[in-house]
Structure 1
Amino acid sequence: MVIENRSVRIVGAIRQGRYLCEVRAGQYWRLENLKSFDVISLPLTKSSRAGIKIVNRRKFLKTTGAAIPMTSRLSPLLRSSSLSAEAVSSRPTPDLVALPPRMAAVDPATQQWQQKIRRVGQSNMTEHDPAVMNIEEWADYWHSAKADIVFISVTGILAFYPSKVRFHRHGKFLNGRDFFGECVAAAKRRSMRVVARMSPDLNWGDALDAHPEWAMRNQDGSVQFSDEEPRLFKTCMFTSYMDDYVPAIMREVNSIYDVDCFYTNGWPPLGSLPECHCEVCSKLPPSGTPAYWRVFDDRVFELWQKYDAIAKEKNPNSFFFANLGGNVRGGPNLDRLGKIAAWFQADNQGRTYDDPAVWGCTLQGRVCNAVMDGKFAANVTAAYSTGTVTWRNASKNPAEAEMWL
């Protein structure tokens, strides 16, 4: 397409009659009222600018749900254009305004520590690890992989340190050992930072007996239990479990260990909105409705800020962040969270039945860049197979593992 002797590359159709165009590298305009490629009808004079709106790349990704077609798909249409240079020259000069730079320059001296991270290591601990895992070898492995920071399990339903918080059950192989503390010390000796990894979405029967109000409930009032381990009940995010129990663990860890930040896996809920009929949730709008989503989003935002403030009680450079899932799916309001989140944690462990291809991860990356405004983001991918049969029981093909990285 040519506008006043300028070469204009169409990079995407927002919807019929409206296109995102690139006039020069990194400069974009949104052109409206484009009826076809043969006839340009754009009210672009200084007296009437209704047909042109400035939109930066981040805003475009944030406010539109359309995929950007490849330019090559549009080339046949461009070649078929009958627009002549003479016809173009007779039109008013377009009043085009250059967009601001895509991202402001970052001063390394004032850059937050997490923005300097380039590689993250994560080994999820199991109950048996305190009895058999060689901590020095574990730390040497991640250091040799040039990891800048490692996730270490505080609780994966079981405590990996001698916690004094009630209902924070110790693993049967812990035997009073401070396994978490030893891992933290080994990482720090190798100049690796530490993420304290927590899983607040499940707990055991003794907690349920003492606090039945903590459980998610079915419509008939029965407790919702884990599909993988029926002894574990699902905790409700609208109860005091999230207000009292989780902060108690965070404060205990913060008071004892030199951790750099806190992370929750399994919260907020991923993919679809939770459906709970406990006493608290029965007073909320029905799950799956826009009204419920607004209440859900407010609660996520409230707890995120609460946990972030707790993380900063010991160190103002610490923070809280959470698993925000994989691909591009509904969940918390990412635009809203992006304004307070210091770290966007994407979770794309590999191909599954729901996510058969890698491009879902790339789409999430676009969304992430749009909402985080240059702040840190990382993607989790797995060394194990994610197929239905071999889930976490076999290694991933090396070529595929490299592809995800």
Structure 2
Amino acid sequence: MEQDASRQGQPNGGWYDRPMRWAQIAFAEDDPGNYDPQFWLDYFKRLRIDAVTLNAGGAVAFYPTQVPFHYRSKWLRDMDTFGDLQRSCRALGMVVVARTDAHACHQDVYDAHPDWIMVGANGDKIRHPSDKDFWLTCALGPYNFDFMTAVHEEIMTKYMTGGIFTNRWAGSGMCYCEHCQQNFQAFSGMALPRTHNPQDPARRQYILWRQQRLFELWRLWNERIQRINPNASYIANAGGGALSELDMKTVGDLAPTLFADRQGRSGLMPSWANGKNGKEYRATLGRKAIVGIFSVGLEEKYRWKDSVQSDDEIRMWVADGIAHDLRPWFTKFDCKVIDPRWMPVVEDIYKWHAANETYLRNEQPLARVGLVYSQQTATYYGGDEARAKVEDPSLGFYQALVEARIPFEMVHDHLLDPEHIRPFRTLILPNIAALSAEQCKQLETFVRDGGGLIATYETS
């Protein structure tokens, strides 16, 4: 890396480039009145936290909401748990982002607006798989476009936060509710597909329609937020590599900053996976600030949020993210600390980060090798087998480059124009099967201008 003078100041406008260290405490429903806010404020001060994300509303409201059917925590009573902690954090100079959760609702919403509930292919409305008091909501209909819009407007009006960040805003799978059926029919002239086969005409249209609908929702929330507070933005929980469902080029254009929600390792995930996320985000966001969310608990198949990961695991995961431009963000679910063993190691990491902040800003990659990742290949060639047919070949090359100590960056296949690939001398295409004629021409131009190309298996 080298220092990039062009990134001095705040090139994206607003506050987005300023925070270097983030924290999130996600209120549990019984936290109001049952946790010690000063405990967290003292911890934030020791860690030199610049920005904090706090649960505000959606599935559960932690402030005195007036939006109809916005469920308030049973423990909230006449308190304002979100607002009180937000004011204290602001007094310490922190940026505060409100977190909302859009994926579930309570029985009263089901009773009043059954059309807001997610519907399976068999026609049944779907309960939350881990909490039967909740119903899953449809992400593409009135629950998000009307109800959650009202929630976001209320939060921004009352608290003027730096932004709103939403968990599970894109839904919990394919929905067959009446709104999805009608809207997809109007878009495509077809019925909703009953297959995941990307070669099926209806499935291909559904992929396009769903992305269009979600980006429409993103722009709606952003516009309504900025109508109230021009210095704020909607920041989606979205993005990543080839397996991401939303086009990362469009995400990179829309997002003033982005948060990589990759909380930890599970299964056989390699130790460099967090840094890979940083490279993938950087491929489309350029020099915008990117933040890496990490958990302090176990991230295996069955996650227990009160568990504690080993010190070495936390250090390794966070360090690999920092090495690839991710600014650290720890997340703690439930403000009552049952097992505090994670706190000293996170404090050590953050104090080191603060002491070395000068060297972690305004950096420009010096890598001359680009590893291409392709969402269109994963979507239209990989389908349900995308992990094996598309992601695994990429992971293999990633591991080989790491072992060979070859500096490299990730390259998005929708950004193969000369401006974006000029820094590279070699491009690697690991089984990038779906390339357009225009993309092939771009690669031919790259080679004609002296670049090297490595392409494997069924590339193009």
TM-score by length of 2: 0.62
Indicate the residue corresponding to 1:310 in structure 2: 224
Amino acid at match of 1:201: H
CA contact (8 A) 2:32 2:81 kept: yes
Residue correspondence of structure 1 range 50-61 to structure 2 within 5 A: none
Cα RMSD after superposing both structures: 2.2
CA contact (8 A) 1:214 1:241 kept: yes
Choose 206-215 or 329-338, whichever is displaced more. 329-338
2-side partners of 1:326 and 1:352: how far apart? 17
The yes-or-no answer on 1:372 pairing with 2:274 is no
Among residues 66, 78, 85, which one is paired with 1:164 in the alignment? 66
Cα shift readout 1:28-52 (whole Å, capped 9, x = no counterpart): xxxxxxxxxxxxxxxxxxxxxxxxx
Superposed displacement of residue 248, structure 1: 0.8
Runs of 4+ in 1 over 6 A off after TM superposition: none
Residue correspondence of structure 1 range 131-280 to structure 2 within 5 A: 131-155=33-57, 157-269=59-171, 274-280=173-179
Superposed displacement of residue 258, structure 1: 3.3
Superposed displacement of residue 109, structure 1: 6.1
Residue 178 of structure 2 aligns to a residue in which SS? coil
The yes-or-no answer on 1:363 pairing with 2:276 is yes
Choose 251-260 or 318-327, whichever is displaced more. 318-327
Higher relative contact order (CA 8 A, sep 6+): 2
2-side partners of 1:309 and 1:130: how far apart? 31
CA contact (8 A) 2:116 2:142 kept: yes
TM-score by length of 1: 0.70
Cα shift readout 1:334-391 (whole Å, capped 9, x = no counterpart): 11111111122111111123x6223332222222111112112111110112234563
Superposed displacement of residue 143, structure 1: 2.3
Choose 183-192 or 316-325, whichever is displaced more. 316-325
For the pair shown, which has the larger CA radius of gyration, 1 or 2?
1
2-side partners of 1:115 and 1:256: how far apart? 25
5+ residue gaps, structure 1, are 1-24, 27-101
CA contact (8 A) 2:58 2:151 kept: no
Cα shift readout 1:212-244 (whole Å, capped 9, x = no counterpart): 110110122211111110121111122111111
Amino acid at match of 2:7: V
Among residues 204, 213, 231, which one is paired with 1:290 in the alignment? 204
1:327 and 1:367, CA in 2 relative to 1: closer, same or farther beyond 3 A?
Answer: closer
CA contact (8 A) 2:239 2:248 kept: no
Amino acid at match of 2:310: N
Superposed displacement of residue 281, structure 1: 2.1
Cα shift readout 1:292-338 (whole Å, capped 9, x = no counterpart): 11111101111111111122123212101111266652311111111
The yes-or-no answer on 1:343 pairing with 2:242 is no
The yes-or-no answer on 1:117 pairing with 2:12 is no
Amino acid at match of 2:118: M
Superposed displacement of residue 160, structure 1: 0.3
Amino acid at match of 1:211: H
CA contact (8 A) 2:296 2:308 kept: yes
How many residues in Structure 1 have an aligned counterpart in Structure 2?
A: 302
Amino acid at match of 2:236: A
